[in-house]
Amino acid sequence: MEPVAALERIAFLLEREDASPYRAKAFRTAAEAAHGLPPGPVDAAAAARLPGVGPKTAQVIAEASAGRTPGYLAEVEARADPLAEGGEELRAALRGDCHLHSDWSDGGSPIEVMARTARDLGHAWAVLTDHSPRLTVASGLSAERLREQLAVVAGLNRTLAPFRLLTGIECDILDDGSLDQEDELLAGLDLVVASVHSKLRMERAAMTRRLLAAVRNPLVDVLGHCTGRLVTGRTRPESQFDAAAVFAACAESGTAVEINCRPERRDPPTRLLLRAVEAGCVFSIDSDAHAPGQLDWQAYGCARAAGAGLGPERIVNTRSADDLLARAFAV
């Protein structure tokens, strides 16, 4: 394995195991630097003189360039277990991912690296869904920056074909249920995930009205992490809303309910997931990746979906890009 590939593989595995982002980032930075290396063996001292390369990453470069498997890579490979038990068939049926972030908002990697990683995981397509303007803590994109991003995505698609990077957004649902981006711009995107990121503890009736307005909005394709709960670290309780009414509206308007795969979210909780299944909703199993290795987290959601009795016909990301774009989210 070449030094760049070895460093990228280590970064991927560290992101996948949810290691410190700084540790994974060190390997991504070193991979960038290693692009400029001539072929053939490089000793660790020479590698360490590259910008952003430290002792650990220099060692990986030295070992890989000499044709050996780097010790550090062997170590992280050895502890890379399957992420989840169950849902393997569903995972094999997935053709894409409807929710991921790049360094244009609060993700850690460039758009191209996210797209290439999604492709290498076997996907035919993925939707880039950076944040909307009012989520300033996550560097939400203004209308102008989103338009700039659309041009970048169009350019990337020329080099990534047949893989397709679809355009999208994770759009904030504002207090009154309206969306945090210009309608005209939203209408031109391939897919819109709408999520609540503010006032999560709004009173139940108001939150129900807010969610109903969003999921009934024809511009919205997917309802993101519907309860907003956080189950690890700095935990957060579920938002309170009339789940029967919201899921009925999702089913009626063909808005997919997201099964958010992030380990700290696992949203919706099983109790609500089962209610959404009963309501006849379709689902989107989304990584919500903020780093390339996190794209593999769909395995968590596949296990949960299979556990809830869902088959591929109810999962929108088992569809081809063309079927997805036809917005035929009804079962």
Least distance in angstroms from the C-beta of 141 to Zn ion: 13
H helical segments located in the chain? 3-16, 21-34, 44-47, 55-65, 71-78, 88-93, 111-120, 143-160, 183-187, 204-216, 243-253, 270-278, 298-307, 321-325
Using the rule CB under 5 A, is 258 a contact of Zn ion? no
Using the rule CB under 5 A, is 170 a contact of Zn ion? yes
Least distance in angstroms from the C-beta of 196 to Zn ion: 8
Instruction: Answer whether the bond into residue 162 is a cis peptide, omega within 30°.
Output: yes
Q: Which one, 38 or 233, has the nearer CB to Zn ion?
A: 233
Do 109 and 322 form a contact (C-beta atoms < 8 A)? no
Least distance in angstroms from the C-beta of 181 to Zn ion: 14
278-307 binders of Zn ion (CB under 5 A): 288
Residue burial 114-133, b: 16+ Cβ < 10 Å; e: rest: bbbbbbebebebbbbbbbbb
Using the rule CB under 5 A, is 195 a contact of Zn ion? yes
Q: Which one, 15 or 170, has the nearer CB to Zn ion?
A: 170
Least distance in angstroms from the C-beta of 12 to Zn ion: 19
Q: Looking at 2-10, 67-75, 164-172, 210-218, which segment touches Zn ion (CB under 5 A)? A: 164-172
Q: Which one, 62 or 169, has the nearer CB to Zn ion?
A: 169
Q: Looking at 51-59, 168-176, 265-273, 277-285, which segment touches Zn ion (CB under 5 A)? A: 168-176
* Size, binding site for Zn ion by CB under 5 A: 3
Least distance in angstroms from the C-beta of 78 to Zn ion: 31
3-state class (DSSP) for residue 210: helix
3-state helix, strand, coil in the chain (%, to 5): 45, 10, 40
Q: Which one, 129 or 318, has the nearer CB to Zn ion?
A: 129
- Count of CA atoms in the C-beta half-sphere (13 A) of 173: 32
Interface residues toward Zn ion, by CB under 5 A: 170, 195, 288
